[in-house]
């Protein structure tokens, strides 16, 4: 009856963050296990602004594994989804075999229903697969009572997802082993380490779809000699340097290296044959603007980085936000939605000195930036205790 069915439903909800790499991951040495050719380092962004929320339920009444993404049912047969699900089930089996106490009396043969949503528009082209897989793995692990090292499982969903399993500043160590057991994420510093650090995401108006990262990086591995040099020589040096800048909260060093590494990643894309272009004219406008702003101040006040798309992610310290936001507003005057132009954490108003305006705001491009999202570093995946937040009902459906 209904009561028995409800009692047999195990249900868990989690949220997980987006991360932005400051030393980029680009290229795999194993496509199936998702093992990278170089280590990478990222900043986990705060879930108050960007997050994925996922509910997973298991019941003996379910007849097959099912997944709903933003309300639409999607095929659970995708190999990366299957890899994550099978890995969590394997860890659960292993754990139960090795322990006498029954930690999670959930039958492993029960099928799961999963519903997942982003709190930001997917159309904006903000990376969602990292948060998505980190959230999926967190929620499944909780459902099956699996604890401990889970970045290895999230990595099987999407490489960058392993870094979303931790908050703050996170390194994904490439590892050496062919089985990937040492290709894991580890926290370099918690999100509280650098309280003044802020992040602005400039969502630009893009027209066309880009080459997906998975396909793009494979072509780069196959054709770019620059990428090989980067992975073997440049990244190992930069990682050590970047960790020191973070440890010392040295924005000058952190910012310079962040920009250089983003630029080298996009240079490897241009060195790929046929070449891949992720930056567009607006991205390049933003790059030039950041350099003019820093030159005017005589130090690194803002640092941009771009992933496999034209949106800019810009790091700065809290005392720079109001002035830089005003510079962006003057450089890319909002088309219509003037009131919604700045979203996320509050931004004070600022009056720009005449000299700064003249030196930095040179050729305004109206409407080029759709909006700015103001955020900061944040924690890793969180469990949601409030049952009203579940994305699946008592019947196990969205
Ligand atoms: C440019 O993690 O999306 O954002 O492992 O094939 O799923 P797959 O690729 P993905 O690649 C991210 C590439 C990047 C740089 C980074 O996040 O380090």
Domains held by the chain: number: 2
Judge if 108 and 49 occupy the same domain: yes
Q: Does residue 120 lie within any of the structural domains?
A: yes
Domain housing 255: 197-375
For residue 129, which atom of ligand 1 is closest to its CA? 3
The single residue listed with the structure tokens 């305006």 is 357
Judge if 159 and 210 occupy the same domain: no
pTM of the model: 0.95
- Digit-by-digit pLDDT tens for the chain (398 residues) are 344 444 579 999 999 999 999 999 999 999 999 999 999 999 999 999 999 999 999 999 999 999 999 999 999 999 999 999 999 999 999 887 655 555 455 788 899 999 999 988 766 667 679 999 999 999 999 999 999 999 999 999 999 999 999 999 999 999 999 999 999 999 999 999 999 999 999 999 776 678 999 999 999 999 999 999 999 999 999 999 999 999 999 999 999 999 999 999 999 999 999 999 999 999 999 999 999 999 999 999 999 999 999 999 999 999 999 999 999 999 999 987 667 999 999 999 999 999 999 999 998 999 999 999 999 999 999 999 999 999 999 999 99
Span from the CA of 229 to the centroid of ligand 1 (angstroms)? 19
Which residue, among 331, 333, 350, 255, has the nearest Cα to 288 in the 3D structure?
331
Judge if 232 and 343 occupy the same domain: yes
Q: Does residue 247 lie within any of the structural domains?
A: yes
Judge if 317 and 349 occupy the same domain: yes
Span from the CA of 213 to the centroid of ligand 1 (angstroms)? 6
The single residue listed with the structure tokens 């990428």 is 227
Span from the CA of 217 to the centroid of ligand 1 (angstroms)? 8
Q: Ligand 1, atom 11: nearest CA belongs to which residue?
A: 213
How far apart are the C-alpha atoms of 108 and 235, rounded to whole Å?
42
Q: Does residue 4 lie within any of the structural domains?
A: no
Judge if 371 and 384 occupy the same domain: no
Which residue, among 168, 162, 111, 110, has the nearest Cα to 136 in the 3D structure?
162
Q: Does residue 3 lie within any of the structural domains?
A: no
* Residues across the chain: 398
Judge if 266 and 169 occupy the same domain: no
Judge if 50 and 171 occupy the same domain: yes
How far apart are the C-alpha atoms of 9 and 62, rounded to whole Å?
10
Span from the CA of 194 to the centroid of ligand 1 (angstroms)? 25
Judge if 159 and 252 occupy the same domain: no
- β-strand pairing of 302-305 with 312-317: antiparallel
Candidates 20, 160, 173: which one to mutate for ligand 1, based on the most atoms within 8 Å of Cβ?
A: 160
How far apart are the C-alpha atoms of 116 and 46, rounded to whole Å?
18
- Joined tokens for residue 360: 């930095």
**Residue 110: which CATH number?**
3.30.230.10
Cis peptide before 68 (omega within 30 of 0): no
Q: Does residue 312 lie within any of the structural domains?
A: yes
Judge if 282 and 313 occupy the same domain: yes
Judge if 385 and 370 occupy the same domain: no
Q: Does residue 396 lie within any of the structural domains?
A: no
How far apart are the C-alpha atoms of 257 and 263, rounded to whole Å?
10
Judge if 244 and 187 occupy the same domain: no
Contact between 379 and 17 under an 8 Å Cβ cutoff? The reply is yes
Cβ-Cβ contacts under 8 Å for 173 (sequence gap 6 or more): 39, 182, 183, 184, 185, 186
102: left (phi over 0), alpha (psi -120 to 50) or beta: beta
Provide the terminal-to-terminal Cα distance of the chain, rounded to the nearest Å.
21
**Residue 301: which CATH number?**
3.30.70.890
Q: Does residue 115 lie within any of the structural domains?
A: yes
Judge if 153 and 225 occupy the same domain: no
């Amino acid at each position: 009856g209904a009561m028995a069915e409800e009692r047999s439903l195990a249900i868990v909800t989690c949220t997980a963050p987006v991360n932005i790499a400051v030393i980029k991951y680009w290229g795999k040495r194993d496509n199936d296990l998702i093992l990278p050719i170089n280590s990478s380092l990222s900043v986990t962004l705060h879930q108050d602004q960007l997050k994925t929320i996922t509910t997973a339920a298991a019941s003996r009444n379910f007849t097959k594994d099912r997944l709903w993404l933003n309300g639409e049912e999607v095929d659970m047969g995708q190999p990366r989804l299957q890899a994550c699900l099978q890995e969590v089930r394997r860890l659960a089996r292993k754990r139960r075999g090795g322990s006498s106490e029954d930690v999670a009396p959930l039958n492993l043969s029960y099928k799961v229903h999963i519903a997942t949503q982003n709190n930001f528009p997917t159309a904006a082209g903000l990376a969602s697969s990292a948060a998505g897989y980190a959230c999926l793995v967190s929620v499944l692990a909780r459902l099956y009572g699996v604890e401990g090292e889970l970045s290895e499982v999230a990595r099987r969903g999407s490489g960058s997802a392993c870094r979303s399993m931790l908050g703050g500043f996170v390194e994904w160590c490439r590892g050496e082993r062919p089985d990937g057991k040492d290709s894991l994420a580890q926290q370099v510093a918690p999100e509280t380490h650098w309280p003044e650090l802020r992040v602005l995401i400039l969502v630009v108006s893009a027209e066309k779809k880009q080459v997906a990262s998975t396909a793009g990086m494979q072509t780069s591995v196959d054709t770019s000699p620059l990428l090989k040099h980067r992975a073997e020589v440049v990244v190992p040096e930069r990682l050590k340097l970047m960790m020191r800048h973070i440890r010392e909260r040295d924005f000058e060093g952190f910012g310079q290296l962040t920009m250089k590494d983003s630029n080298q990643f996009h240079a490897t894309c241009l060195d790929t044959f046929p070449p891949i272009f992720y930056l567009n004219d607006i991205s390049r406008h933003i790059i030039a603007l950041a350099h003019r702003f820093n030159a005017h101040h005589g130090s690194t006040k803002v640092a941009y980085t771009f992933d496999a798309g034209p949106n800019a992610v810009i790091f700065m310290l809290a005392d720079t936000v109001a002035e830089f936001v005003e510079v962006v507003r003057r450089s890319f005057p909002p088309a219509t939605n003037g009131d919604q132009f700045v979203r996320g954490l509050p931004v004070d108003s600022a009056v720009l000195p005449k000299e700064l305006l003249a030196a930095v705001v040179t050729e305004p491009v109206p409407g080029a930036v759709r909006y700015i999202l103001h955020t900061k570093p944040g924690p890793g995946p969180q469990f949601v205790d409030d049952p009203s937040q579940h994305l699946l009902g008592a019947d196990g459906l969205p």
